[in-house]
Structure 1
Amino acid sequence: MTRIDFYLLTSASPDLRLDYACRLAHKAWSKGHRVYLNCADEGQAETLDSLLWGFRADAFIPHSLAKEDAGEAVVCGSGEPPAEHHDLLINLADSTADSFSRFTRMAEIVIEHDPVRLPARERFRFYRERGYPLQTHQIRTAG
């Protein structure tokens, strides 16, 4: 059963949310996991793709957009995850990813901004009602 982690950032900044997604993707990739970043739309996927290029000056994260190369270790997209990805799903969309249950883990990154926080609460209830193991992590941010 998919383990679901909610990362609650003490910020309302959408930029910090994407930065934290990069951090989680890097950590998972460095441990040998394949990561799918489920974005709200193609624009967000392209923004995240750009952020991943310069995220760490001392390390390269092999990644791509789903529409360009879905076989890469880290993929950003806004639709169905690539078939080869089943380790970690990082959900940045406002809805539940349709195929989240085929992943070992899923991360929901939530900021203190109602358009992000309120749909995340609904997803939390959805997962809890279906018996998924849930963890919450309070993340203090500087921004």
Structure 2
Amino acid sequence: MTEVLFYHLTESRLEQALPDLLERSLGRGWRVVVQCSSDERLEALDNHLWTYREDSFLPHGSDKESSGQLQPVLLTTDPAQRANEPHVRFLVDGAVPDTLSGYVRAVYLFDGHDTDQLDTARGRWKVEKAAGHAVTYWQQTEEGRWVKKA
């Protein structure tokens, strides 16, 4: 059974929230795959993760490169991509996985101001719960902190 977390972005954008969550995953020794819904989003995140903070960067790459299996964080649009043998799968902008079987954790990050992403997240909540995964829902406070709501 995979632990599935739903993160409802209400006070920050994906680019602000994702790096911290990725750093926490890497801090646990987990390898990560981030599934994007488009090549444009993948490219934007790829660039952002190199420069999001002046004193740090997240080691990562995309599956467009031949070294995907070596990456601690692998960016992809492929719902079945597992080249880096990830423990965690992040799903952004309404991306939907092939399966969550074999992951320690899956994280859906969705924009609370985007109706399509909200609808996708609600649908995925039902799917993941019906599949027997342990699902939790987290929402941002006005200060940008995460609070478990369900």
Change (3 A) 1:125 1:49: same
| Equivalent residue, structure 2, for 1:134 | 135
Equivalents in 2 of 1:120, 1:65: separation in Å? 24
The 3-state SS of whatever aligns with 1:101 is coil
- Residue 141 of structure 1 deviates from its aligned partner by 5.2
Equivalents in 1 of 2:110, 2:142: separation in Å? 12
Aligned positions of 1:1-143 closer than 5 A: 1-11=1-11, 16-68=13-65, 69-71=67-69, 72-79=71-78, 80-112=80-112, 113-140=114-141
Q: What residue ranges of structure 1 are gaps of 5+ in the alignment?
A: none
Confirm or deny: 8 A CA contact 2:72 2:84 kept in the other structure.
Answer: no
Per-residue deviation, residues 20-58 of structure 1 (Å, max 9, x unmatched) = 122211221133211100000111111110110012322
Letter in 1 for 2:68: A
Change (3 A) 1:27 1:94: same
Per-residue deviation, residues 84-120 of structure 1 (Å, max 9, x unmatched) = 3231100015243003222110001122120111111
Q: TM-score, normalised by structure 2?
A: 0.84
Aligned-residue Cα RMSD (Å) equals 1.9
Equivalents in 1 of 2:2, 2:76: separation in Å? 20
Equivalents in 1 of 2:142, 2:50: separation in Å? 22
Confirm or deny: 8 A CA contact 1:86 1:102 kept in the other structure.
Answer: no
The 3-state SS of whatever aligns with 2:101 is helix
Equivalents in 1 of 2:99, 2:50: separation in Å? 27
- Count of residue pairs the alignment pairs up: 140
Letter in 2 for 1:135: T
Confirm or deny: 8 A CA contact 2:35 2:95 kept in the other structure.
Answer: no
| Percent of aligned pairs sharing the same letter | 25
Q: What residue ranges of structure 2 are gaps of 5+ in the alignment?
A: 145-150
**Larger RCO of the pair (alpha carbons < 8 Å, separation 6+):** 1
Equivalents in 2 of 1:24, 1:95: separation in Å? 17
- After TM superposition, the runs of 4+ consecutive aligned structure 1 residues lying more than 6 A away are none
